[in-house]
Amino acid sequence: MRFVRWIMLVLILLGLVLSGISVSGQGEGLTIGFSQIGSESAWRTSFTVAVQAEAEARGINLLFSDAQQEQENQIAAIRAWIAQGDVDAIILAPVVTSGWDEVLQEAQDAGIPVVIVDRNVDSDPSLYVTRVSSDFVHEGRLAAAWLVQATSGQCNIVELQGTVGSAAATDRQTGFNEVIALFSGMTIIHSETGNFVRTEGKQVMASILASEDPANICAVWAHNDDMAIGAIEAIKEAGLQPGVDILVVSVDAIPDIFNSLDAGETNATVELSPFMGGPAFDAVVATLNGEELPKWIPVAGKLYTTRAAYDADHQ
Ligand code: GZL
- How many helices (DSSP H) and strands (DSSP E) are in the chain? 11, 12
> Could you report the per-residue pLDDT of 153-207, keeping only the tens digit for each?
999 999 999 999 999 999 999 999 999 999 999 999 999 999 999 999 999 999 9
Half-sphere exposure of 277 (CA within 13 A, CB side): 26
pLDDT band at 24 (very low <50, low <70, confident <90, very high): confident
Cα of 94 vs centre of ligand 1, distance in Å, is 11
133 vs 234: CA distance, rounded Å: 31
Alpha-carbon distance of 161 to 194, in angstroms, equals: 6
Structure confidence by residue, pLDDT tens digits, 212-250 = 999 999 999 999 999 999 999 999 999 999 999 999 999
Q: How far apart are CA 46 and CA 24, in angstroms?
A: 27
Rg, the chain, Cα only: 23
| Per-residue pLDDT tens over the stretch 200-213 | 999 999 999 999 99
| 281-306: burial string, b at 16+ Cβ within 10 Å, e else | bbbbbbbbeeeebeeebebebebbee
Q: Which amino acid is at 263?
A: A
Pocket around ligand 1: residues whose beta carbon is below 6 Å from it? 40-41, 43-44, 118-119, 134, 168, 196, 224, 226, 251-252, 272
In this prediction, residue 161 carries a pLDDT of: 98
Report whether pLDDT(17) > 60: no
Cα distances (angstroms) measured from residue 183 to each of 147, 148, 171, 256: 11, 8, 20, 31
CATH 3.40.50.2300, domain 136-271, yes or no: yes
From the list 242, 220, 229, 313, the residue with the least C-alpha distance to 271 is: 313
| Closest residue CA from atom 4 of ligand 1 | 224
Best residue for ligand 1 mutational test, from 118, 142, 161, 166 (most atoms within 8 Å of Cβ)? 118
Q: Do domains 19-134+273-300 and 136-271 have the same CATH topology?
A: yes
Which protein residue's CA is at the shortest distance from atom 3 of ligand 1? 168
Its CATH architecture, for the domain 19-134+273-300, is 3-Layer(aba) Sandwich (3.40)
Computed over every residue of the chain, the mean pLDDT equals: 95
Tens-place pLDDT, residues 45-91: 999 999 999 999 999 999 999 999 999 999 999 999 999 999 999 99
Domain residue spans of the chain: 19-134+273-300, 136-271
Report strand pairing: 155-161 vs 186-193: parallel
In this model, does residue 18 exceed pLDDT 60?
Answer: no
CA 23 / ligand 1 centre spacing (Å): 31
Q: What is the C-alpha separation between 140 and 174, in angstroms, rounded?
A: 7
pLDDT of residue 296: 98
Pocket probe for ligand 1: among 74, 131, 272, 273, the residue whose CB has the most ligand atoms within 8 Å is: 272
Residue nearest to ligand 1 atom 6, measured at CA: 118
Mean per-residue pLDDT, 266-274: 98
C-alpha span between 239 and 220 (Å, rounded):
16
**Percent of the chain clearing pLDDT 70 (strictly above):** 94
- Among 44, 69, 95, name the best residue to mutate to test ligand 1's pocket (greatest count of ligand atoms within 8 A of Cβ): 44
Residue 87: the pLDDT is 98
